[in-house]
Structure 1
């Protein structure tokens, strides 16, 4: 590659552009071959044979790509390639013309995505009309970028292929349009945005209005009054006796303190999922289930092994304090949705103890049981060794996403 790069300066602009186009054509042809391989692996169930729940999950590890990219590639592979099921049934590609053009290097990956989505939206039409739509899009792809091609697709469907549009489903009630997106920052505060359907919006406003009344000596602005009103509504909801609880309890606060600090009556408080000041800890603890968690040497939660498969509450709390979430590399799932996995299986004599358990989300718990991934604890850190088809050198990996600053006595748990 170095030799090629060192001679590029000798090319004039037209030659350079021609080389760029030729290189892009090769990339597209290689992508077509890549999709054929993915289609074959998916059809024969390669991922399940290797212990993975899906082809997408397998691609995440062997290619180090995002879930979105893996899903898109698999969708392209399915749309552009015939598939033979284990029973011998052949499922024909929905976009055969697109497959030919990609194999010839004549359309881009972005254009493939536009055409795939477009054809997938025409399932209510006869096959010949969907084929006509693909043909028209392929012809237009020679001169349009993906965005322009998508706009052209909307036009040809409306004017040529399907002027009547998709028939409404009168039997199916429309789902209310409701969304809520929220983001929690490291210090525990939250930002969120969303939208509500008209009925729910009226309910929301009706609940807020009594709490956001303006008083003559009130120095708060409208946004601040609304924020305080929202907090009051949430507090009332939290006090509702019919509110679902977590494990039958309200907010659960773990106060952690080392054995040495306990002897000296020092205060070390840890609240799961937020960094808090001592005053905030005391305030929340007034209306929470308070649990003492005594820490051993090097901040290791103390535990007592028990001869049972089910992980008891005190060991699970210790795992939450130690692992802080799913311990599998690069997984961000919080401890609240994780399982306690026995490293040495309980049926093989493995104890139910801190030294033989690790937190894993459901997805990675299943992966560990079904595949050649292995896990071991070293100095209270879970290290995972991948199969050789993920990493030929099988270098152990760990999760660095749940690490927190140890300097603060009110660290995130």
Structure 2
């Protein structure tokens, strides 16, 4: 949309539409710039004109910094076919991204994220790379570059869940480390780090002991309580098997699918603390884990509350935790532990406090839903969000893919 009328006469939505149109044209012009750069580099125009390379030429003609000139040239080389001095043609690394940029659907920052994501997946074959590029472009149509970067960490699990085959000789790299030093007075100081499974077990063992004492007042700080809790755990371990029953168990895996499916491919794993693990890690830990079956109702949904209530009960919040795994607003990465339970149909209008009428929203997006034109509805038991027309003229519903189970592809 191009408006020639004074801007003060334009409505708010017309201003946003006009700005979006300018951004699209700028991206299309940038795509044309990269296409020209690719041709200049293929022909060796810079050396013919007496320059050492194309970057040096751009520093004079476009007054770009050397770093920016090299950046644009690197993008051009990945998005377009190049011809070597011997006449051989190098096919583009990201042809679909070049087409999306030419349509104005993505920007330079999106291109950088896609380039970096695929560069970190060198083991993919041609078909898997094409699938990964398409998956990233689909998300880029809705996500800003930062959100796309977060999603990029999951692309490998989508297109190649088994990962690259292990090398015959894996370098020795311990996952756990502990350094300790006995002082002259017999006391000890130590530091180290633990792998995911051991860290989870350590946290679960400490929690029952590090709570403040309720009787007589507890003046200990958090560090002192944690130190006392660690000493208590050591004493309990010395008197094994008298371990505490609350949290003092092996890693807990909340399974919302059959245990047989868990053994084959596990994508829906929840650890307290909003931690995630790969499918291969989950399969390994599940072989020796305390498996907690989540009680499901009809259509494989966690239990609903029988009596309507405004305050969301603990078991309903647990159901939201298992279903949404965090803020359900598109592209939000906030964990479930900081989220509110939003009533899709307002409670004041008769909306029940049931899982089918609740969505996990972080405080920021909870405010946005209440104060903007964004809308949310439940589709097949999950929240879907419809953006205003000034965000997406077609107003296509979208959901948060960062917390969703990974889809399987033919690749």
TM-score class, shorter: 0.3 to 0.5
The TM-score, its normalising length taken from structure 2, stands at 0.38
The TM-score, its normalising length taken from structure 1, stands at 0.38
| Greater radius of gyration (CA) | 1
